[in-house]
Amino acid sequence: MPILRGGKQPVRAITFNPKGKLLVGTKEGTLRLHNEYHTAENTTTTPSRQPRDVEYQGANKGDVTQVKFNPCCSHQFACITSKGCLRIFDTKQTTYTGGAPTTQLNVNDLYLKCFDWCPTGHRMAVVDSKNNITIYQIDGTHPTNIGEVTSSSKLTLKERVSFPVEITDLMWDRKGKTLYIASENGRIYYVREDEKIATYVSKVFNPMIDENIREPYILVGRSAITCLDISHDDKYLIVGSEDSAVSVFEIQDLICVHNFSDIGSLVTTVSVRLLQGKYLILFSTRNDEKKVTGIFLMNLNDGKMLFKTERDGISKAILHPSMNYIAFCQDSSPYDVIVEGF
């Protein structure tokens, strides 16, 4: 079981790029890109060579709270921090000794808790601790020699709106036409591409709204939604919640088609992948004491459990693009990321 040494600070965020490179964000803002995770230190064998990691310093911009790769470009990634900073890096413009961000801007001076990079590469949505949603327009993109599209380093503020409820996560659909906003009140709000968020908020939270208008949100349950993901073909919306349930919605009709409610613990992460016609769902859970955690991999097509493990205090888990590995962090070893095959 390979263990990636995260460095001198506890791990706060992890993600894979489409090529399987693992990016780790830590307390105090340092980022480490593991170019070949499978050559990392192993608990039973000595690797033939160390991974050529790239480290990016935090520059006193706060702890990393979330990291994501540009969905259009495997060598461009962004992170948000606890001090209100949004940073974008391009690995093609750095060396193995690290490098400076191509973009660094202060969204505000608040803790930034979640963000998403629109799949078209042209927009970003950022949410802070006071539930302000900030939308940035990325003014230009240019193609690369490997068939990808790199976003411009110029971000323009398009909209900033105070959302009336506690936001727990948000995500654009795979075409970038709808922004889904998960909340603490058990609802997912969705804003269409042709509508401003301010207009949407005024319409949805106005008590005089026309009762004949279709409710512009999805009622998942009574407890807080903790996480969500969308399949790459925009068919399914996967939702995890505090009431120990994973719900699957068909996006076209916004109806719940599956509800796995016998999990027994709060759901902390969900992700869905499409592989050869099969929809695979990965989710992780924590009990009330935050000690025992489960990681589950399920085939949505037939409901069969493909993988299940219990570990002490897992804080986050992600699925490798090959669907043959998972990476996760444990409270007992906060400086490390564990990669396990199944």
pLDDT, tens digit (0-9, with 9 covering 90-100), for 190-199: 999 889 999 9
pLDDT score, position 39:
38
Q: What are phi and psi of 85, to 5 degrees?
A: -105, 140
**Ordered structural domains, the chain, with CATH:** 1-37+52-106 (2.40.10)
pLDDT confidence of 47, banded at 50, 70, 90? very low
Tokens 């996967």, residue located:
238
What percent of the chain is modeled with pLDDT above 70?
83
pLDDT score, position 41:
40
The Cα-based distances of 132 to 87, 119, 164, 238, 276 in angstroms read 18, 21, 9, 24, 39
Name the pTM for this structure.
Answer: 0.89
pLDDT confidence of 14, banded at 50, 70, 90? very high
CA torsion 60-63-68-73 (nearest 10°) is 20
Among residues 264, 293, 339, 341, which one has the least CA distance to residue 41?
339
Burial of 229 (0-12, 13-18, 19+ CB in 10 A): buried
pLDDT tens digits, one per residue of 144-172: 555 566 666 688 999 999 999 999 999 99
Residues ≥6 apart with Cβ < 8 Å to 250? 235, 236, 237, 257
CB 113 within 8 A of CB 129: yes
Residues ≥6 apart with Cβ < 8 Å to 302? none
Kindly report the CA angle at 47 between 45 and 51, in degrees rounded to 5? 140
